Chains A and B, each alone.
Chain A
Amino acid sequence: MNTPILQMRGITKTFPGVKALQDVTLDVNRGEVHAICGENGAGKSTLMKVLSGVYPDSSFDGDILFENEPCSFASITDSEKRGIVIIHQELALSPYLSIAENIYLGNELSSKGWVDWRKTNLEAAKLLARVGLSENPATPVQHISVGKQQLVEIAKALSKQVKLLILDEPTAALNDEDSSHLLDLILHLKGQGVTSIIISHKLNEIRKVADAVTIIRDGQSIETLRLNDGEITQERIIRSMVGRDLASLYPDRNPTIGEEVLRIENWSVRHPQDHTRMVVSNASLNVRKGEVVGLAGLMGAGRTELAMSVFGRTYGQAVTGKVYKYGKEINTGSVSAAINHGIAYATEDRKHYGLNLIEDIKRNISLAALPKLVTKGWVDKNKETVVANGYRKSMNIKAPSVAAVTGKLSGGNQQKVVLSKWMFSDPDVLILDEPTRGIDVGAKFEIYTIIAKLAAEGKAVIVISSELPELLGICDRIYTLSAGHITGEVPIAEATQESLMHFMTQEKE
């Protein structure tokens, strides 16, 4: 029974400046469902990319044994030939092609260069039956729900004679019904001899389907728990996931918290494409002068969606709820309205949403509050340079001059430019979404110091972060979000990683 199908030994993968994986070991037995757990950024997806050949053999150290044979995959095609198929969190389906065409995309059933449509549709129908999807194979993929699209992906994997199926957060985008159907399918495939690796944040799901759990933290494999050795408990997983010391340094703060600045009440947001999905449900929260409030939640909990929908409705549809500033209701229906009400939102994705990378530092800093620099109808360039130079000094942006192009700065310095931009708009409330993502440790400390300084100046700060130690290190109060609901509000004195993780994984009916 317990014959290993996959053994990964001493996997070490380095990105410029950062060790993403360090000496990771993973053993998966034939015919089991193996879950991989870890915080965001722990290295789970990287490990799966190593396994599936997304990162070619030459780009990492360590050995992979699949069915007792050493593997060196140069690309995803190589791993698929061996029967290892990965299904990414963001589905790789072409929306305008039919289900059958998608299943056999890149692998067309053809003779002499011509596609055999009869066979394609026939075989696709058989595969659809195996995954329990009753749809016409000729239906374009865009016309079926995300849950069903997920099943099409699995059917596609089955068409490749899959032996080891890797699912990266398969239920993150699904509603409860679709999720449980998917989990049943995984168990059903297990019965047919398909081994699965499933990356998931949802601990109750893991308990439902997994035979074994490997926990990864900070790029290292911590332990593997097996069902035969005893029960896999939620507490045990959480402890392993977060069990690191708060050794990294956070600046000392002496918060003086004043009146309430911003209050969000009964905020609900629906998914922009899928109207039936509630991304944020009835969320209420507030933040006070001089306070740093954390928003904790796992991937897909709705943190960014909450922030962006408040900031000028830049996410979602059918947004309902009220925003109050200093007790008075305000309308934040457009970005400029939100900015005028003194709200600033620094995005988690600074390259795509935060910066104009082909433009220089000063013009990026001035963009959100350009009218402040206008005298007699023209932008005062000298004033702009003075302002930008001021931020370059106070924020310690390392660049030859403020005329340097932001695309050439390091991640930390880019983040400082984003923060400078929003500080220049002189907000009362700053929402910082993953302010330290992709930033090295030294620069992180600088960002924390800036946040502390902003709070000390009387700003109200909301920090969204996937890193719990970070929230514990800089916040005064932490809200937890799970599946769009606010599941907890914890004062810093009572907050521990375990207690937060408990709220973050709590399912609310």
Chain B
Amino acid sequence: MSALRESLGFLASRLRQVGIFVALILIVLLFQGLTGGILLQPQNVSNLVVQNSYILILAIGMVMVIIAGHIDLSVGSVAGFIGAVAGVFIVHWGWAWWIAIPACLLVGALVGAWQGYWIAYVGIPAFIVTLAGMLIFRGLTLITLKNQQITPFPDELRALGGGFLPDISGGTSVLEWLTVILGVTATFALIFQGFKERRSQKKFDLEAEPRVWFITKTAFIALLMLAITFLLASYRGTPIVLIVLAVLVIVYTALMNNSVFGRHTYAIGGNLHAAELSGVKTKAVTFRLFVNMGVLAALAGLVFTARLNSAQPAGGTGFELDAIAAAFIGGAAVTGGIGTVAGAMIGGLIMGVLNNGMSILGLGTDYQQLIKGLVLLLAVAFDIFNKNRAGGESVFIKFFRSSNTPSTPEQPKKDRLEPAGAASTTERTSVTQK
């Protein structure tokens, strides 16, 4: 009984993370029903991954920028621009893909450096700089393409958008065995990692998740991964872009959690002044974040171009909005300091499943946009209502806390006024106002 209550209390404290996950599953089940089972057919699952990959790539960079308290409105235009550049490099100039891809990423980095310079060192708000960038790079896209699409691209590049890992059984088996091996390995790696983390939490006396919750969660995720593996394996195997995406997610999750750079990013978004006074080189960190965003936007542009097999003047239009929505649905805070790469991925998948499901149902873009807009609004509204953050506690948590007091020896008051400071706050010398 107490174990159950403990789990519930924990669940409440993680309502946001759990909620978003549950929402994704509910949406999948809903559309699975509405579409009469089409949504989870192997071919559609495979499509779903490929179709959303570039948005997910953008969402990784976007959530980092948002965590630092900025925004990037230009990524769609930058992705389109890089598509155009790739067209010139590969189709017009005949560069080999293994030169062209790094060159495109480099151009992306330069674009990011340009915007990062104005934001970090000149101090223009990111909203303005990237709004300008949205126009600038759309303009450059049109100039580069002379308003005409560039096509076709060689197969090597197209593999990045629509290719699959080779079939090692030579087409004899029903299942793609390479995919099965990869999927099962990844599942075990995840379980292993989960246990390892839990062990160190126990060892270092941190609040570990309740056992019931941990086992349920791990088992559920493992089953989910195996299910996806099975679905992919029974179609054409693992999309190459999924491998790219998986590597990015792992690398960037590690970067955000365990690198000095990632920590500094959270610190800047959480409290810029405190970060500055702790010796964080806030400008350099901001600059690098935008360079990184440029590189990821370039990669997204390449994937998108490869998938369409053409560089188009309007390529990438509106991507920025999907990426931003993904980050916020995935739990990033508008004020910065909060958010995760994994959350942004789930947010992106929610948008993707909505898109895909509604398209299968034959809903027009009119209703699709309406519904996507409402979902974004509700997700953030849920955040505000729940406000599972410092200073404010959700009703849910209070409820569970009251029956679960031992976990919080010190019950802080909401919006409490500083005792002696009550009189002195107004007397405070006004310090630096930057």
Contacts A16-B417, A410-B410, A437-B420 given; does A348 touch B389 at CB 8 Å: no
Q: Do A46 and B390 have beta carbons less than 8 Å apart?
A: no
- Write the chain A residue with the least CB distance to B262: A379
Residues of B within 8 A of A20 (CB): 422-423
Interface with B: A1-9, A230-238, A369-377, which one?
A369-377
A41 an interface residue at 8 Å Cβ cutoff?
yes
Q: Do A44 and B423 have beta carbons less than 8 Å apart?
A: yes
A10 an interface residue at 8 Å Cβ cutoff?
no
A45 an interface residue at 8 Å Cβ cutoff?
yes
Interface with B: A129-137, A176-184, A251-259, A393-401, which one?
A393-401
A354 an interface residue at 8 Å Cβ cutoff?
yes
- Distance of A354 Cα from B429 Cα, bound (Å): 16
Contacts A89-B427, A304-B431, A405-B390 given; does A367 touch B207 at CB 8 Å: no
CB distance from A51 to the nearest CB of B (A): 14
Q: Do A46 and B423 have beta carbons less than 8 Å apart?
A: yes
Q: Do B426 and A45 have beta carbons less than 8 Å apart?
A: yes
A507 an interface residue at 8 Å Cβ cutoff?
no
Q: Do B429 and A305 have beta carbons less than 8 Å apart?
A: yes
Q: Do B410 and A356 have beta carbons less than 8 Å apart?
A: no
A488 an interface residue at 8 Å Cβ cutoff?
no
Q: Do A389 and B204 have beta carbons less than 8 Å apart?
A: yes
Q: Do A353 and B429 have beta carbons less than 8 Å apart?
A: no
B419 an interface residue at 8 Å Cβ cutoff?
yes
**Which one of B207, B257, B274 contacts A401 once the chains associate, using CB atoms below 8 Å?**
B207
Contacts A16-B419, A378-B258, A382-B200 given; does A367 touch B410 at CB 8 Å: no
Q: Do A16 and B416 have beta carbons less than 8 Å apart?
A: yes
B171 an interface residue at 8 Å Cβ cutoff?
no
Q: Do A368 and B420 have beta carbons less than 8 Å apart?
A: no
Interface string of B410-434 (1 = CB under 8 A from A): 1011001111111110111111110
CB distance from A433 to the nearest CB of B (A): 9
Contacts A90-B430, A348-B428, A389-B205 given; does A438 touch B278 at CB 8 Å: no
B276 an interface residue at 8 Å Cβ cutoff?
yes
**Which one of A41, A345, A355, A405 contacts B424 once the chains associate, using CB atoms below 8 Å?**
A41
Q: Do A355 and B274 have beta carbons less than 8 Å apart?
A: yes
- Distance of A400 Cα from B418 Cα, bound (Å): 22
Q: Do B419 and A353 have beta carbons less than 8 Å apart?
A: no
CB distance from A408 to the nearest CB of B (A): 5
A347 an interface residue at 8 Å Cβ cutoff?
yes
CB distance from A471 to the nearest CB of B (A): 16
Residues of B within 8 A of A370 (CB): 260, 263-264
Interface string of A290-326 (1 = CB under 8 A from B): 0000000001100111001001101110000000000
Contacts A349-B428, A403-B206, A409-B410 given; does A363 touch B423 at CB 8 Å: no
Q: Do B277 and A353 have beta carbons less than 8 Å apart?
A: yes
Total number of B residues with any Cβ neighbor in A under 8 Å: 55
CB distance from B207 to the nearest CB of A (A): 5
Q: Give the one of B274, B389, B432 with max A CB within 10 A.
A: B274
Q: Do B432 and A88 have beta carbons less than 8 Å apart?
A: no
Interface string of B23-37 (1 = CB under 8 A from A): 000000000000000
Q: Do A339 and B279 have beta carbons less than 8 Å apart?
A: yes
A115 an interface residue at 8 Å Cβ cutoff?
no
Residues of B within 8 A of A413 (CB): 410
Interface with A: B265-273, B287-295, B371-379, which one?
B265-273
The secondary-structure label for the interface of chain B is: loop
A501 an interface residue at 8 Å Cβ cutoff?
no
Q: Give the one of A338, A349, A374, A389 with max B CB within 10 A.
A: A349
- Write the chain B residue with the least CB distance to A339: B279
Residues of B within 8 A of A333 (CB): none
- Write the chain A residue with the least CB distance to B406: A400
A402 an interface residue at 8 Å Cβ cutoff?
yes
Interface residues of B in 355-408 (CB under 8 A from A): 389-391, 407-408
Interface string of A328-360 (1 = CB under 8 A from B): 000000111011000001011100111111110
Q: Do A385 and B204 have beta carbons less than 8 Å apart?
A: yes
Q: Do A411 and B419 have beta carbons less than 8 Å apart?
A: yes
B147 an interface residue at 8 Å Cβ cutoff?
no
Residues of A within 8 A of B271 (CB): 352-353, 355-357
A466 an interface residue at 8 Å Cβ cutoff?
yes
Q: Do A406 and B390 have beta carbons less than 8 Å apart?
A: yes
- Distance of A167 Cα from B204 Cα, bound (Å): 54
Residues of B within 8 A of A315 (CB): 431-432
Q: Do B418 and A356 have beta carbons less than 8 Å apart?
A: no
Q: Do B274 and A353 have beta carbons less than 8 Å apart?
A: yes
Q: Do B254 and A272 have beta carbons less than 8 Å apart?
A: no
A144 an interface residue at 8 Å Cβ cutoff?
no
Q: Do A363 and B263 have beta carbons less than 8 Å apart?
A: yes
Q: Do B204 and A16 have beta carbons less than 8 Å apart?
A: no
Residues of A within 8 A of B278 (CB): 335, 367-368, 421
Interface string of A188-226 (1 = CB under 8 A from B): 000000000000000000000000000000010000000
Q: Do B206 and A15 have beta carbons less than 8 Å apart?
A: no
B409 an interface residue at 8 Å Cβ cutoff?
yes
Q: Do A356 and B277 have beta carbons less than 8 Å apart?
A: no
- Write the chain B residue with the least CB distance to A90: B430
Residues of B within 8 A of A363 (CB): 263, 266-267
Residues of A within 8 A of B254 (CB): 378
Q: Do A400 and B207 have beta carbons less than 8 Å apart?
A: yes
Q: Give the one of A43, A90, A335, A386 with max B CB within 10 A.
A: A335
- Distance of A347 Cα from B277 Cα, bound (Å): 9
Interface string of B313-325 (1 = CB under 8 A from A): 0000000000000
Residues of B within 8 A of A41 (CB): 420-421, 423-424, 427
Q: Do B410 and A398 have beta carbons less than 8 Å apart?
A: yes
Q: Do A367 and B423 have beta carbons less than 8 Å apart?
A: no
Contacts A45-B427, A405-B390, A411-B419 given; does A335 touch B206 at CB 8 Å: no
Residues of A within 8 A of B178 (CB): none
CB distance from B276 to the nearest CB of A (A): 6
- Write the chain B residue with the least CB distance to A366: B263
- Write the chain B residue with the least CB distance to A362: B206
**Which one of B273, B279, B419, B429 contacts A438 once the chains associate, using CB atoms below 8 Å?**
B419
Q: Do B207 and A403 have beta carbons less than 8 Å apart?
A: yes
Q: Do A356 and B267 have beta carbons less than 8 Å apart?
A: yes
A440 an interface residue at 8 Å Cβ cutoff?
yes
- Distance of A400 Cα from B429 Cα, bound (Å): 34
- Distance of A349 Cα from B276 Cα, bound (Å): 14
**Which one of A374, A385, A408 contacts B390 once the chains associate, using CB atoms below 8 Å?**
A408
A247 an interface residue at 8 Å Cβ cutoff?
no
Residues of A within 8 A of B427 (CB): 40-41, 44-45, 89, 169, 299
Q: Do B410 and A335 have beta carbons less than 8 Å apart?
A: no
- Distance of A410 Cα from B418 Cα, bound (Å): 9
Q: Do A15 and B207 have beta carbons less than 8 Å apart?
A: no
CB distance from A490 to the nearest CB of B (A): 22
Q: Do B279 and A17 have beta carbons less than 8 Å apart?
A: no
Interface string of B331-370 (1 = CB under 8 A from A): 0010001100000000000000000000000000000000
- Distance of A437 Cα from B280 Cα, bound (Å): 25
Interface string of A12-32 (1 = CB under 8 A from B): 000111101000000000000
- Write the chain B residue with the least CB distance to A399: B410
- Write the chain B residue with the least CB distance to A43: B423
Q: Do A402 and B206 have beta carbons less than 8 Å apart?
A: yes
Q: Do A371 and B260 have beta carbons less than 8 Å apart?
A: yes
Q: Do A437 and B429 have beta carbons less than 8 Å apart?
A: no
Q: Do A335 and B429 have beta carbons less than 8 Å apart?
A: no
B259 an interface residue at 8 Å Cβ cutoff?
yes
- Write the chain A residue with the least CB distance to B413: A16
B275 an interface residue at 8 Å Cβ cutoff?
yes
Q: Do A353 and B423 have beta carbons less than 8 Å apart?
A: no
Q: Give me the 4 closest cross-chain CB pairs, A-B, nearest first.
A: A407-B390, A18-B419, A438-B418, A356-B270
**A308-B432, A356-B337, A438-B421 given; 11 more Cβ-contact pairs under 8 Å:** A15-B418, A41-B424, A315-B432, A334-B281, A353-B273, A354-B277, A378-B258, A381-B257, A400-B408, A401-B206, A405-B390
15 pairs across A/B with beta carbons < 8 Å? A42-B423, A45-B424, A45-B426, A303-B429, A305-B431, A312-B277, A314-B277, A315-B432, A338-B279, A363-B266, A379-B258, A389-B204, A389-B205, A407-B390, A439-B419
